[in-house]
């Protein structure tokens, strides 16, 4: 009885633990680095597990995921620095699913200001 409980429990915990390893990885993103230039529709937010912003490129609104908040802030990128409507150039890895306009950003440039949120990924 006890060993059944033990092995069942171990199997259940492994099922739960497996996908956790995948989180925060670049697994769902393309290997290739893509550049986008667009206008900011929602400025940098440092709330949540990752900093985020939204930009409009052509007719599409892109969800940009930056580094975690503390790391994004220490790269110099704070909330309110880049105003809505500003033109930005970003580099990053876009979602494997091209129907989703989503990118994990490694670099953001606005005018002469550059923010390397993931310098080790360039």
Partner 1 sequence: MHLAPLFRWLEHSALGVFTRSLGVWSYGIINLAHILGITLLFGSILILDLRLLGAWRHVPLATLSRPTTTMAQIGLVLAVSSGIPMLTVKTTDYIGNPFLLIKFPVIALALVNVWLVHRSKAWRAHLERDLQPAEQRRLAQGAALSLAFWLTAITAGRMIAYW
Nearer to partner 1, 68 or 89 (CB): 68
Nearer to partner 1, 11 or 57 (CB): 11
Cα end-to-end span (Å), the chain: 54
Q: How far is the CB of 69 from partner 1 (least distance, A)?
A: 4
Which range binds partner 1 by CB under 8 A, 7-15, 29-37, 90-98, 100-108? 7-15
For residue 23, state whether it binds partner 1 (rule: CB under 8 A).
Answer: yes
* Residue 75 neighbours by CB distance under 10 Å: 19
How many Å apart are CA 94 and CA 13, to the nearest integer? 32
Q: Which stretch binds partner 1 (CB under 8 A): 29-37, 69-77, 82-90, 93-101?
A: 69-77
Which positions touch partner 1 (CB under 8 A)? Answer: 1-2, 5, 9, 12, 15-16, 19-20, 22-23, 45-49, 52, 68-70, 72-73
């Amino acid at each position: 009885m006890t060993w059944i409980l033990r092995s069942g429990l171990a199997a259940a915990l492994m099922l739960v633990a497996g996908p956790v390893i995948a989180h925060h990885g670049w697994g769902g993103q393309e290997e290739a680095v893509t550049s986008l230039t667009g206008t900011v529709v929602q400025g940098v937010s440092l709330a949540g597990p990752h900093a985020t912003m939204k930009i409009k490129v052509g007719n599409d609104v892109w969800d940009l995921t930056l580094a975690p908040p503390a790391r994004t802030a220490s790269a110099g990128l704070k909330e309110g620095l880049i105003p809505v409507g500003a033109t930005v150039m970003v580099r990053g890895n876009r979602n494997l699913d091209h129907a989703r306009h989503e990118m994990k950003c490694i670099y953001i440039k606005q005018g002469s200001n550059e923010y390397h949120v993931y310098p080790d990924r360039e």
